[in-house]
Amino acid sequence: GYSFLQSGLNDWAVAIFKLNVEFYPKSSNVYDSLGEALHASGDREGALGNYRQALMMLEALPEKTERDLQSIERTKRTIESL
């Protein structure tokens, strides 16, 4: 997905990341990636929904690693900036 996103093929990136969500619905990272692709495609509301889903999943983790805590803060900043 990121190869398409970096090449400006945002619709392809969105399609790939949507498949990732279908295949890995318990991964917060796939929602974050889809949010990024949707934002690049101009779909602010779709991006926000996916970033919020990623944040909710991260915050629900019973034990958070330092990386999880960093992801939570980064996702919060991203949501605030949209």
- The DSSP code sequence of 3-69 is HHHHTT-HHHHHHHHHHHHHH-TT-HHHHHHHHHHHHHTT-HHHHHHHHHHHHHHHHT-SS--HHHH
Q: Token pair for residue 71? A: 């992801």
pLDDT of residue 52: 98
Q: pTM (2 decimals)?
A: 0.94
pLDDT of residue 20: 98
For 35-56, write each residue's pLDDT tens digit.
Answer: 999 999 999 999 999 999 999 9
